[in-house]
Amino acid sequence: MSKPVRPVVLESGIEVKPVYGPEDLAGIEFANDIGEPGQFPYTRGIHPLMYRARPFTMRQYTGFGTPAETNERFKYLISNGQNALNVAFDLPTQMGLDSDDPLAEGEVGRVGMAVDTLKDIEVAFDGVPIDRISVSLTINAPTVILLAMYLAMADKRGVPMNEVRGTTQNDILKEYVGRGAWIFPVEPAMRLIGDTIEFCSQHAPKYYPVSVCGYHMRESGATPVQEIAWAYSIAKAYIQHGIARGLDVDDFAGRISFNFNIFGNLWEQICKFRAARRLWARLMRDEFGAQKPETMQMKMLAGGGGAGLTIEEPENNIVRGSYYALISALGGAQTMALCCYDEAYTIPTPRAQLISLRTMQIVADEIGLSDTVDPLAGSYYIESLTAEMEKRMVDEMRRVDEMGGMVQAVATGQIQTIAARQAYEFERAVESGELVKIGVNKYRSENPESGEVELHPYRQAAVDEQIARLAQVRRERDTELVARTLRAVRDAAEKKQNVMPAVLDAVKAYATTGEITKIFKDVYGVFREPVIL
């Protein structure tokens, strides 16, 4: 009597059969569902030759301490072949606080770079070739301020606004769901995002003002299907807001990108991305009436994988990172970013970041993953799983619509409640061994050797340096000009005008992050998180 085959169920709830065959492709049409690379519905990639012609961009998430320290790390990565930057900001900056604010005590420069004024951005990017590389700013609630600082710095460096390339994360709806780094209530926060979309469509057409971040929702409890469905529901809300302002969908929606996660089952993740491209193309064409191919092409960064890393046996995370890079490449990402093996402990060391960068470079140039486009296409399992994931994504988006849409679902806490419950269930599954983590709940060493991880200590001297620079800027700036530009910011906010021009003038006068944020708080108020029992 044969032993029963254990069931395999993916996180998205899909049961995997032991064997797949031609019958599993019933109902899948090549032209309509798979197609050619670079052609609608873009299942196989948004470019005809993908990595044969355009290798994926490599970005390591970087930022800590002072702008000068971060600048040194930027140059280290660029000198080792990294061709784009992804900037981390400390928690006070993310919350719109200056480094000398009492609420910032103990957090300045701890998990990212501290930015108080335009001077900090100038220091951070000194000697960095911003005219040749794309820079992603991982900032959300105070995006209008940090984006204005970056554009002002580029202008001072002689890079015209219409030539600036880069991205801001600027996805406040996911902050309410996943990270909690929100400041303002939902409605004015949405309006600030609309201001950046409108401004960039008119003045910085090569810039991506929004990168919708399914990544953090995945880390916070969303399944792979929900990661895409919730991200697309968020993107729909931003697009609808832009259209309500009178913008044409083809004039701005093509400059909305996505940041997705890559930990979990390899096949599920690859099919997640193939299904996501197809779904986005259909959504933009059929629901929003997009005409331009660029608008229907889903551009994504596939990276991170932090929730898949472990404190136990940290060197195992190097192996995990290699598989995450494989997922990203086989999934057709335009940009790849890997967490480092020591990130479960600390801010990555230069050596840890170099290992992740070399991992991406090996995938791109050494093992053949750039040889041909979508090499898994036509697989019975891959195409069947891609189709099933797309179906479930559509069902989940419909579920969000039934909640009143993503803005309503977030404002009332419905999405947050679902994510929190699932995050709890995920941790329970790890603790019970139902979800296998090698070195944690399976093949756990009786006497584990402590992995050598260099910790990044909190340095009060660096904090003192940052606060001293802020004080110097305040002493040396034109106080009357600062006051005048801040009044203009308040006036624009109160009149519900686009605040970007006024904020640009304010940051050029060296108004601080905290000063501008305080005006927005005065005008908009602050968000109070709903509690659902």
Tell me: the pLDDT tens digits for 75-85?
Answer: 999 999 999 99
Tens of pLDDT, residues 270-309: 999 999 999 999 999 999 999 999 999 999 999 877 889 9
The 3-state DSSP class for residue 397 equals helix
Long-range pairs, 279-283, Cβ under 8 A, ≥24: 279/228, 279/232, 279/390, 279/393, 279/394, 280/42, 280/232, 281/40, 281/41, 281/42, 282/41, 283/232, 283/236
Beta bridge partners of 61: 86
- Chain centroid to Cα 464, Å, comes to 31
Residue 302 β-bridge partners: 260, 336
Q: Given strand 134-138, what is the order of strands in its sheet?
A: 61-62, 84-88, 134-138, 166-168, 207-208
The whole-number pLDDT of residue 476 equals 97
**Which pLDDT score, from 0 to 100, does residue 513 have?**
98
Predicted confidence at residue 448, as pLDDT, reads: 62
Whether the CB-CB separation of 303 and 328 falls below 8 Å is answered with yes
- Could you tell me if 314 and 341 are in contact, meaning their C-beta atoms sit under 8 angstroms apart? yes
Give me the mean pLDDT over the 51-69 stretch: 92
Q: What band does 454 get if pLDDT is binned at 50, 70 and 90? A: confident
Task: Give the model's pLDDT for residue 58.
Answer: 94
Q: Looking at the predicted structure, is the pLDDT value of residue 2 above 70?
A: no
**The pLDDT of residue 155:** 97
- According to the model, what pLDDT value does residue 214 have? 95
For residues 352 and 169, what is the distance between their CA atoms, to the nearest angstrom? 24
For residue 304, give both structure tokens. 């991170």
Phi first, then psi, for residue 13 (nearest 5°) are 90, 5
Q: Look at strands 8-9 and 15-16 and give their pairing.
A: antiparallel
Q: Structure tokens of 339?
A: 């967490």
Question: Which residues have CB under 8 Å from 262's CB, separation 6+?
Answer: 269, 302, 303, 304, 305, 324, 327, 328, 331
Report the distance separating Cα 288 and Cα 34, nearest Å. 22
Q: pLDDT for 161-196, tens place per residue?
A: 999 999 999 999 999 998 889 999 999 999 999 999
| Residue 501 pLDDT greater than 70, yes or no | yes
Residue 471 is predicted with a pLDDT of: 98
Q: Is 268 strand, coil or helix?
A: helix
Burial of 493 (0-12, 13-18, 19+ CB in 10 A): buried
Please determine, for residue 376, whether its predicted confidence score (pLDDT) is greater than 60: yes
CATH fourth-level superfamily of 56-371+406-432: Methylmalonyl-CoA mutase (3.20.20.240)
The CA distance from 117 to 476, in Å, is 13
With bands split at pLDDT 50, 70 and 90, how would you rate the model's confidence at 346?
confident
Distances (CA, A) of 373 to 193, 295, 321, 353: 35, 21, 22, 28
Q: 394: closest CA among 295, 480, 287, 476?
A: 287
Length of the chain: 533
Percent of the chain with pLDDT over 70: 98
Residue type, 353: Q
Judge whether residue 1 has pLDDT over 60. Answer: no
- Longest Cα pair distance anywhere in the chain, in angstroms? 88
CB 326 within 8 A of CB 363: yes
Sheet holding 335-338, edge to edge: 57-58, 335-338, 300-304, 256-261, 210-213
pLDDT tens-place string over residues 241-276: 999 999 999 999 999 999 999 999 999 999 999 999
Collapsed DSSP state (helix, strand, coil) of residue 299:
coil
Tell me the pTM: 0.95
Confidence of residue 378 (pLDDT cuts 50, 70, 90): very high
CB 468 within 8 A of CB 474: no
Q: Are 192 and 144 in contact (CB under 8 A)?
A: yes
